[in-house]
A and B are shown apart, each in its own frame.
Chain A
């Protein structure tokens, strides 16, 4: 264009004399139209739990979420059915821990299901949910509307992480509940003989199962924090999901290499399978405590990283 064109100064005060009287300095101005009159609520922001509720409802209204939970629930069902069919032809040998106890007590189906799912299936589903948190909103373009609502970047991250942790719990429960149900149906229940040799009743053993589910959910919460951070780095949700999943697998491989033994206690996967302590009488909380400390460290570090990245990020999606 020609460089001589000159900007015309807008003579603001002359153009709209009536606007000068407006209460522009108040954070929330009064009525702006007939659509809705100003209410006291307009001035006092709510605590903001509604967004968390909305986040959970969006998460659990997605077909994908239910498909993943169903797939997880199918793991113990598959195990129970196979064991049941094989048991008729003679006892099994070897296999994952707890497998041999299944025929004596159906509740062990749940434990076997967890042991089988922990290395891959569970981290995979958590990676999908955690990797989707921010990148998914960016990919849909809804991130810009959440932020201009304004949701607040810290609040949005907290809500997203909270929902991911809820999914961790749901994922562990899906396996435990499905395992307990199918095990009871196919093998029945009775008093459970613990690893320590003691025997506990059905009620107590259900409590132990829930404790194990909580342990697994806690183990996954660290991975969810890592996924949250990776999710703030990209606008492509699939990329964040895949990176998180690969990280979980690679970490387990590193954890299996004796040459890197010095590193093992620092890996977030280190205590993933150490929930057997919860099946002793009396309960040994050592592994739980160590795992909680480790996961807490990962959660703190990666949530902080996610915030430092996200709070200054240009949202251009």
Chain B
């Protein structure tokens, strides 16, 4: 990704980005490449380093090593010229509970020196309307529900026309209806040419809207690319029916695959993820036959993106720490 010429087409580019908290490495040598105009899903289970990456990207925290470029400009050096073009929702919304929704937006808008005062009232109104909060504009944020606060946080990111939106778990706390609304909002913003970088721990929430995705696990980037590319690399699954299950298991191990189950419990069936992309199914079949394994069935199944995600990040509470 460091090749010359590519930077200009990237909205966000990180290289070797590392952030340590004491001895713990929250983000380890991260190389992200977020193309201009993409809707980029930043996936990973809780604690995998998504929010930390976003904080470092936006200059809230310093990197331990590595660098970040937004629109080709070094961060945090060019923070003052870059950030006015970036709308952000970071680690959930945060507001003054004793002010109304509209006053909160008004307040945060004054912090941006590029936001013209003359249009402030109109822009606040439009942002509130865009997230469906017009009716609650004058209510104190203390009285907002979690979902309403989340919407207000998104409205804050939309106060000015933006080149880039960074949305950290934007659907947290939203009901299914709200989640759908956020999705269609992201779609319409992307349609206007805004690059959207959206993080989530749920693949299903972003799968429908993303053109690209990256997957984080325990602070490391484990996959990145267009959604199609991810699906293609997505581990296909091989299952074999054979009376010689034990022998088949041994062959698969020898080929460097990691078949499920142990030698003891086979029931005429062995299955394995195809975690060596260069190893073709036909070669596996040939190797099995050469070793005298009698094949009754040989099925190669493409995994869904969901399978791929689970495979990369671990399942349920069994996440990598």
Q: Is B37 a contact partner of A19 (Cβ separation < 8 A)?
A: yes
CA distance A216 to B282 in the complex (A): 88
Q: Which of B73, B82, B277, B312 contacts A1 (CB 8 A)?
A: B312
- Over the window 73-117 of chain B, the binary record of Cβ atoms lying under 8 Å from chain A Cβ atoms (1 yes, 0 no) is 100001111111110101111111111000100111111111011
**Across the interface, which residues of B come within 8 angstroms of A51, CB to CB?**
110-111
Q: Is A24 a contact partner of B36 (Cβ separation < 8 A)?
A: yes
Q: Is B192 a contact partner of A33 (Cβ separation < 8 A)?
A: yes
* B contacts with A, residue count (CB < 8 A): 91
**Across the interface, which residues of B come within 8 angstroms of A8, CB to CB?**
223-225, 229-230, 233
CA distance A32 to B161 in the complex (A): 5
List the 6 closest pairs (A to B, CB-CB), nearest first.
A141-B94, A19-B36, A8-B225, A27-B81, A33-B192, A149-B111
Q: Which of A5, A24, A39, A46 contacts B222 (CB 8 A)?
A: A5
* Chain A residue nearest in CB terms to B33: A10
Q: Which of B62, B88, B108, B113 contacts A312 (CB 8 A)?
A: B62
Contacts A9-B224, A33-B189, A140-B96; is A150 near B111 (CB within 8 Å)? yes
Q: Which of B72, B90, B103, B212 contacts A24 (CB 8 A)?
A: B72
Q: Is B90 a contact partner of A41 (Cβ separation < 8 A)?
A: no
**Across the interface, which residues of A come within 8 angstroms of B37, CB to CB?**
16, 18-19
Q: Which of B86, B106, B313, B320 contacts A148 (CB 8 A)?
A: B86
A-B contacts, 19 of them at CB < 8 A, read A2-B273, A2-B275, A5-B222, A6-B277, A8-B230, A10-B225, A11-B225, A15-B38, A16-B35, A16-B36, A31-B161, A32-B85, A35-B130, A43-B114, A45-B113, A46-B114, A54-B111, A141-B92, A152-B113
CA distance A48 to B192 in the complex (A): 29
Q: Is A32 a contact partner of B192 (Cβ separation < 8 A)?
A: yes
Q: Is A61 a contact partner of B99 (Cβ separation < 8 A)?
A: yes
**Across the interface, which residues of A come within 8 angstroms of B162, CB to CB?**
32-33
**Across the interface, which residues of B come within 8 angstroms of A250, CB to CB?**
none
**Across the interface, which residues of A come within 8 angstroms of B60, CB to CB?**
144, 147-148, 314-316
**Across the interface, which residues of B come within 8 angstroms of A13, CB to CB?**
5-6, 9, 35
CA distance A101 to B21 in the complex (A): 62
CA distance A274 to B81 in the complex (A): 49
* Chain A residue nearest in CB terms to B87: A148
Q: Is A146 a contact partner of B111 (Cβ separation < 8 A)?
A: yes
**Across the interface, which residues of B come within 8 angstroms of A4, CB to CB?**
275-276
B237 smallest CB distance to A (angstroms): 13
**Across the interface, which residues of A come within 8 angstroms of B134, CB to CB?**
none
Q: Is A15 a contact partner of B211 (Cβ separation < 8 A)?
A: yes
**Across the interface, which residues of A come within 8 angstroms of B80, CB to CB?**
150, 152
**Across the interface, which residues of B come within 8 angstroms of A142, CB to CB?**
94-96, 108
> Which of B118-126, B201-209, B287-295 lies at the interface?
B118-126
Asked whether A282 is an interface residue with its Cβ less than 8 Å from the other chain, the reply is no
Asked whether A29 is an interface residue with its Cβ less than 8 Å from the other chain, the reply is yes
* Chain A residue nearest in CB terms to B73: A25
* Chain A residue nearest in CB terms to B113: A45
Residues of B within 8 A of A (CB): 1, 5-6, 8-10, 31, 33-38, 55, 58-62, 71-73, 78-86, 88, 90-99, 103, 106-114, 116-119, 123, 126, 130, 156, 158, 160-163, 189, 192-194, 211-212, 217, 221-226, 229-230, 233, 258, 273, 275-277, 311-314, 320
Q: Which of A12, A34, A316 contacts B55 (CB 8 A)?
A: A316
A232 smallest CB distance to B (angstroms): 14
CA distance A117 to B11 in the complex (A): 57
Point out which of A5, A25, A152 has the most chain B C-beta atoms below 10 A from its C-beta: A5
**Across the interface, which residues of A come within 8 angstroms of B275, CB to CB?**
2, 4-5
A16 smallest CB distance to B (angstroms): 4
Contacts A12-B35, A35-B161; is A45 near B62 (CB within 8 Å)? no
A316 smallest CB distance to B (angstroms): 6
**Across the interface, which residues of B come within 8 angstroms of A46, CB to CB?**
113-114, 116-117
CA distance A24 to B34 in the complex (A): 14
**Across the interface, which residues of A come within 8 angstroms of B83, CB to CB?**
148-150
Asked whether A36 is an interface residue with its Cβ less than 8 Å from the other chain, the reply is yes
Asked whether A145 is an interface residue with its Cβ less than 8 Å from the other chain, the reply is yes
* Chain A residue nearest in CB terms to B194: A32
Contacts A8-B224, A38-B161, A314-B62; is A63 near B194 (CB within 8 Å)? no
**Across the interface, which residues of B come within 8 angstroms of A97, CB to CB?**
none
CA distance A11 to B93 in the complex (A): 33
* Chain A residue nearest in CB terms to B35: A12
* Chain B residue nearest in CB terms to A29: B163
B224 smallest CB distance to A (angstroms): 5
Q: Is B192 a contact partner of A1 (Cβ separation < 8 A)?
A: no
**Across the interface, which residues of A come within 8 angstroms of B276, CB to CB?**
4
CA distance A61 to B98 in the complex (A): 9
**Across the interface, which residues of B come within 8 angstroms of A61, CB to CB?**
98-99, 103
CA distance A315 to B1 in the complex (A): 29
* Chain A residue nearest in CB terms to B88: A148
Asked whether A53 is an interface residue with its Cβ less than 8 Å from the other chain, the reply is yes
CA distance A62 to B79 in the complex (A): 31
